[in-house]
Structures are given as C-alpha cells and as structure tokens.
Amino acid sequence: MRPLTPSGQQAVNQLAQRHGFSVEAVLVMLDAVLDGNGSMAQFSHPEFGGSGQWMAGGMTMLSDMFNHYLKGRVDNLCAELAALLASQADLIQRGSVQPQDQNGASLFAPPGPDWWGPELRWPDSSGAQNGVRYAYFSQAHRLAIEVNGQVTIYDTLDHQIGGISQQQGYGGSLSFNSQYGLIDVNRLPVLSIDGQVVATPATPVAAAPQPPLASDPGAWQPAPARPLAGESDIFTLIERLAELHQRGLLSDLEYGSKKAELLSRL
C-alpha cells in the first residue's frame, strides 16, 4: 500500500466510516483506483466479496454478483475515491518509496531533467523503452513522447491513459491503453514538435488532402480523413457489455444504462 500524508490518512478514515468499510479495505481500493488512473479499478478484498472490477460510469462487477447492496456500496466508494484523487494532490507521500508504473518509473517524480519542456510540470507517469521516452500529464490532457531526440506533445482528449506500449523493434509504433481500449498514439492530435506549435485545441491546423499511393497502402492519411478517436473502440465495448449481459453478469438495467452512456459518446 502507498504511504499516505496526514491529510490522506484523514480522508481515508472518513471514507471508511462513511461507507462502512475498514480502513485497510479502503486503502486497498485506493491503490486499485490509483493504478487505474481514477477511471477503473481491479481489486480483491474479503469486504468487497473477493475480487472484482469497477469502471467509472456505474459498471461494477463483484464475485458475489447477486449482492446488489454490496455492489452499490463498492461503486459509491470507488467513485468518491476517484473524485478525491482528482481534486486533492497531496494524498500520497512523495518520499523515498515511490509508486511506479508498469515500466518501473516513478508516478510522481520525473526521471531526470524536464525533457518535455517548461510548460508541463509533474507527470502522472513516465517511462522509457527501446530508445523511446514518454510522460503523461492527466490534468493537462497532454502526452509527451521523445523518439530519436525529437519531442512531440499530443492532446490526449478525454482518454485516461493507463500505460504506453511499443511494437517490437527500435522506434516501433506506439499505442496506449485507455477506457476505450488500445489506441494508436498517431490518432491523437499533435500540438507541438520540439517546441514548435503544430496546432492548438481552439485552432486546429488541417493538413491538405493527400491520398496514399496505390503502391504504398500504409501511406500517411490526413487527420480529417481518420475516424474519430475511440469510435470503433466504443462499439467493441458495447459488444463486450452484450456478452456480459448474455452470460448473466449484468442485469438488464445495468446493461441498458452503460450501453446508453457509451452511445452518447459517438
């Protein structure tokens, strides 16, 4: 479990008392929500009926699947923990023992100089592999990636990024996990390259249409010709929800509510 500041410990004690769970159980859930970047959690504790999953928006799955009372309590706890992590930055101690991401990089301290530039401060997560470095800033909705010394800043839109992965080979294509599934980094809007502004959210710069050559099926496509980021992944999530519904893991109400929420994002 991550070490808490005094204010963090006080907040956890209050949550435990308000939701009727032990402090230990709330700490387990705090770690799970933090690992899921505040939008999802995978947890296991006897007070939560064993193992389970939570996703922001109301999708909660417990081993004790018919205990709807417990499901509601767990959902409320996770939602409040996510809101607390988003609004209060001093919950976790920034001492010698730091939480790490999947690549072993600190979630709170940058690995060396601020290579991403002066406009961005502390990343939520950062790492490096195969000559590529990345830093993710959830509050600013920015992702910085350095490849071969070139730093590119992306707008992450509404994605809650859980980790960056790279295809085999030096300089291979990059992708990340979010609440919409696995997304190619190239689908994000580019804001700057080596400090030179390419576009801003208010005044995006559209590239002139350049259809790919017949001999090069993998040629670059202009941004306006691409599908909206996350659209195909929303349909994938709906299919998964349907499977869970058919297997009896989701009630008709839960399935209908979550499906309507996903369709509203199209």
pLDDT in tens, 167-224: 544 445 678 788 888 888 888 999 988 888 885 444 444 444 455 554 445 444 444 4
Element (H, E) at 244: helix 231-246
Please report the pLDDT score of residue 22 as a whole number. Answer: 93
Tens digit of each residue's pLDDT (9 = 90 or more) over 64-83:
888 889 988 999 999 998 88
Farthest-apart Cα atoms in the chain, separation: 65
Q: What is the pLDDT of residue 153?
A: 92
Query: Residue 21's closest CA among 47, 55, 56, 42?
Result: 47
Give the pairing of strands 174-178 and 132-137. unpaired
Residues of the chain short of pLDDT 70, as ranges, are: 1, 89, 93-113, 121-122, 163, 166-173, 199-232, 266
pTM of the complete model beyond 0.75: no
